[in-house]
């Protein structure tokens, strides 16, 4: 196995997928809270300008009672998963944020309530979202998930 090397200092704007461009545009002015507005503004900026190879842990399974996690990889790929210590056994890999937000967590067997990830984030008031866990930018690399290719 080897690690994929990425160029982190490149500051050119990454071209978003059609799906994520559409969701970012459609959400403008329709946010249910200031926390939701902040979430979409930050995620759009990150997808456009902040590549990550060591992962950007947006929601940690350790921080919420449902043990849901959301991880951004590279620019706009995401892992949505469930469980502490499951080593990815209970996770879905998707190519866009819009796809991640539309995943039904009950259908995946993650929770007993019939909610998409977006509905779950709204239900929680976005309180489990943490924007300070992009491990390419942090020094301590705590809770780091490595990507092997």
What's the pLDDT score for residue 88? Answer: 74
Residue 144 pLDDT more than 50? Answer: no
Q: Is residue 51 part of a domain?
A: yes
The answer to whether 48 touches 64, Cβ cutoff 8 Å, is no
Q: Is residue 131 part of a domain?
A: no
Q: Is residue 35 part of a domain?
A: yes
Distance of CA 34 to the CA centre of its chain: 18
Full domain range(s) for residue 60: 18-123
Q: Domain tally for the chain?
A: 1
What's 132's DSSP letter? S
Compute the average pLDDT of residues 120-130. 97
Q: How far is CA 38 from CA 127, 131, 142, 146, in A?
A: 12, 10, 24, 27
Rounded Cα gap, residues 30 and 109, in angstroms:
29
Compute the average pLDDT of residues 16-42. 96
Residue 141 pLDDT more than 70? Answer: no
Q: Is residue 107 part of a domain?
A: yes
């Amino acid at each position: 196995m080897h690690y994929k090397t990425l160029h982190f200092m490149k500051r050119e704007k990454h071209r978003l997928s059609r799906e994520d461009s559409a969701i970012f545009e459609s959400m403008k002015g329709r946010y249910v809270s200031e926390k939701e507005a902040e979430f979409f503004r930050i995620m759009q900026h990150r997808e456009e300008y902040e590549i990550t190879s060591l992962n950007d842990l947006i929601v940690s399974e350790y921080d919420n009672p449902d043990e849901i996690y959301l991880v951004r990889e590279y620019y706009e790929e995401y892992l949505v998963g469930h469980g502490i210590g499951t080593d990815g056994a209970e996770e879905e890999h998707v190519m866009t944020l819009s796809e991640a937000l539309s995943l039904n967590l009950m259908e995946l067997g993650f929770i007993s309530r019939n909610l998409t990830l977006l509905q779950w984030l709204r239900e929680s008031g976005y309180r489990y979202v943490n924007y300070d866990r992009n491990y390419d930018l942090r020094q301590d690399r705590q809770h780091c998930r490595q990507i092997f290719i």
